Amino acid sequence: MTSEVRAGGNVLALRPPVAELTLVLADEHPVVRSGLRALLESIGEIRVVAEARTGREAVREALLHRPDVLMMDLELTEPDGITAIREVQRSQPGIAVLVFTMCDDDTSVFTAMRAGARGYIHKDAEHDDIVRAIRGVAAGEAIFGPSIAGRLTELFGGQAHDRHPFPDLTSREREVLELIAEGLPNSAIARRLYLAPKTISNHISTIFSKLGVSDRAAAIVRAREAGLGRVTV
């Protein structure tokens, strides 16, 4: 129903209030839960009604509160996240489950989808992407973060290695590797991607580990062999 306010004898029509979404947040790390709660409280419209640190607590709180969204990590215990998703979906299939995790391997993604997850985003997602994902799954959409969506496209298209020569890298890590291959130093990469230098250093350490290289020069060789970056001739 549209509200009305009278001002000086005139009737001003106001937009209907936005329906508040309710959310149960399940993650074993208190710092993750507190950070997400602070983010959602800062924007309004999404209310965290309960928190959980284990799979058992996630199921219990979801069935107790029946939120619009259960946002959960896969790396829960007692039981694991996949089992918790199945239990919630078996008892309350109307609850939209949004996976929020560091796991982005093919097995985790498809197992979560088969268990009933409606969305899947990586923990390095931007704040705006997290909020959009919550609203999207609550509205009945299937939502996947950029790195996950890219992986699904590759897998369903059967051209993973043709599209991305390093499928183990996230989309952000591929961006960083591309800029490394172009010869940019960490400071320039940080400016280009609007990220902190420390964040870039962390990404580079992960990239080196995934590529099986020990230094920047070896990473550049691997990247340019795969067609990334500019090769001077």
Report the candidate in 65, 63, 62 with the shortest Cα–Cα distance to residue 98.
Answer: 62
pLDDT-wise least confident of 20-24, 50-54, 74-78, 106-110: 106-110
**CATH code for the structural domain at 166-225:** 1.10.10.10
Q: List the beta bridge partners of residue 24.
A: 50, 70
Our separate counts of H helices and E strands in the chain read 11, 8
Q: What is the pTM of this model?
A: 0.59
CA gap 206, 169 in Å, rounded? 9
| Whole-angstrom distance, CA of residue 179 vs CA of residue 220 | 10
Domain ranges of the chain: 21-152, 166-225
Burial class, 120, CB count within 10 angstroms (exposed 0-12 / middle 13-18 / buried 19+): buried
**pLDDT digits over 63-93, tens only?**
999 999 999 999 898 888 999 999 999 999 9
Class of domain 21-152: alpha beta
pLDDT of amino acid 96: 95
The DSSP secondary-structure symbol of 158 reads: T
Place of tokens 């001077």: 232
Q: What is the predicted pLDDT for the residue at 166?
A: 82
